[in-house]
Structure 1
Amino acid sequence: MESIINEFRTIPTTCISDAMQGLNNLDPAIKPLKEEYRFAGRALTVKTAVGDNLAVLKAIREAKPGEVVIVDVKGDRYRAVAGDFVVGMAQTMGISALVVDGVIRDIVAIKELDFPVFSRGTTVASSGKAGTGEINVPISCGGTSIQPGDIIVGDADGVIAIPQSIEQEVLKKALDKLVKDEERESKISGNPEEIRKYIDGMLAK
């Protein structure tokens, strides 16, 4: 696993978002099935037609261990991009997470797999396999442009995409923000006087 991926895995998405001024967050409706899910990895992008998940299966077959399969299905909420069988295959192939701008099904069984799945929710209807779709192409997922190989990070607060061209810069800014947040918390937590000073400072801006 790349060291930069490991570093991003330790940083809250909130800090990463602040480092990019909130510009690369996926739609907040895309949430983890369990709050404890957390991941970071490079994007293996999937563009597929509504109601067709054959391209998702192709992505699972082609994915390198640690990659994130991230699926553009136009936010469709009727047909599932994946169920427990497909998610189980992704887990076996070493994929780090499945992010879907759509819905999944078999939610109870997927939760039992304890594999990071982020989606807009659940449904009962399955997808077909007509074969319409592509992998490793530019996509829009949750309203955010994503290129193959971009770093994708997710946690309980949501999912964020980090373009490869600025990933080192974003990492530095996010780490700086994390340190400042921890220092602020340490200084004012449980201290009414410091809280008043902090709020007064914010009001004076």
Structure 2
Amino acid sequence: MVIMNQFMNIPTTSISDATSGLNNLDSTIKPLKETYKISGRAFTVKIPVGENLAVLRAIRNAGIGDILVIDAKGDTYRAIAGDFIVGMAKTLGLGGIVVDGVIRDILGIKQLDFPVFCKGTTVAASSKHDQGEINVPISCGGTTIYPGDIVVGDVDGVVVIPQNKIDEVFRKSLAKVNADQERSESILGDPDKVRRYLDNLV
């Protein structure tokens, strides 16, 4: 739990660098508000296109702070949830929703101030006929995600950290943050240092 909270202070860009860019979700999956930041364990959902019954089951079964990660097959016609469903997720203490798909009732969801990362919005609702699956390995945004993996998201996008690499990725990403800060402080603001730095590169 401590490390998950600490990931909240690390940019996804640094985490991506620490994982060699291998676990980034598709760049079209973005937060509804630029200020949203998430870090928590993935509670995975796999649904057929146009269905969302499994999303409701997941909200009921997920734990406090869990991030609902939904494989909606990239569908952008039917929404996996609207403001009422997202409101239930917030009420039960979930940490956020990430979906390879779209939502609707965007103004209502923004008013909830609950972090949702998605491909956009639509007007069409989903059906509730197929059960789908929860807490199974999925592919979301082109990345394999297992239940319990760490999901971190911010304005730049979403990154997944495999459970067996959490400590390693945390150390590497923190080192990247520190190295970037030291570089900026030592070079930026001084034209001569910038020129020398560029000369060494080009």
Please give the range of the TM-score, normalised by the shorter of the 2 chains: over 0.9
Q: Distance in 2 between matches of 1:7 and 1:164?
A: 15
In 1: Cα distance, 2:23 partner to 2:200 partner: 29
Cα-to-partner distance string for 1:65-114 (whole Å, 9 max, x where unaligned): 01000000100000000100000000011111100100000001101111
* Residue 166 (str. 1) matches residue 156 (str. 2): no
Match of 1:201 in 2: 200
Q: Which residue of 1 aligns with 2:184?
A: 185
Matches for 1:1-205 after TM superposition, within 5 Å:
2-203=1-202
1:199 Cα deviation from its structure 2 partner: 1.1
Displacement of 1:180: 0.3
Counterparts of 2:86 and 2:184 in 1: how far apart (Å)? Answer: 39
Q: Which runs of 5+ in 1 are unaligned?
A: none
Q: Please give the per-residue CA displacement for 1:144-163, whole angstroms capped at 9, x wherever unaligned.
A: 00000000000000001000
Instruction: Give the superposition deviation at 1:42.
Output: 0.3
Q: Percent of counterpart pairs with the same letter?
A: 61
Runs of at least 4 residues of structure 1 off by over 3 A? none
| Count, aligned residues | 202
Give the counterpart letter for 1:114 in structure 2. D
Deviation, structure 1 residue 201: 1.8
Q: Which amino acid counterpart does residue 187 of structure 2 have in structure 1?
A: I
The AA in structure 2 aligned to 1:147 is Y
Q: Secondary structure at the match of 1:140?
A: strand
TM-score calculated relative to the size of structure 1: 0.97
Q: Could you tell me how far 1:131 is from its partner in structure 2?
A: 2.9
Q: 2:65 is matched by which residue type in structure 1?
A: G
Distance in 1 (CA, whole Å) between partners of 2:180 and 2:107 is: 36
What CA distance in whole angstroms lies between the structure 2 residues aligned with 1:202 and 1:34?
A: 36
Structure 2, unaligned runs of 5 or more = none
How far the C-alpha of 1:198 sits from its partner, in A, is 1.4
SS in 2 for 1:160: strand
Counterpart of 2:29, as a letter, is I
Question: How much has 1:185 moved relative to structure 2?
Answer: 1.0
Q: Partners in 2 of 1:85 and 1:144 — Cα distance?
A: 28
Counterpart Cα distance in 2 of 1:6 and 1:132:
33
For the residues of structure 1 that align with 2:197 and 2:95, how far apart are their CA atoms? 40
Question: How much does 1:132 deviate?
Answer: 2.9
Letter in 2 for 1:119: C
| CA root-mean-square deviation | 0.7
User: For 2:117, what is the secondary structure of its paired residue?
Assistant: strand
Q: Which amino acid letter does the alignment assign opposite residue 30 of structure 2?
A: K
Q: 2:64 and 2:200 mapped to 1: Cα distance?
A: 47
User: Which one-letter code corresponds to 1:166 in the other structure?
Assistant: K
SS class of match (2:10) = coil
Letter matched to residue 28 of structure 1: S
Moved more, 76-85 or 128-137: 128-137
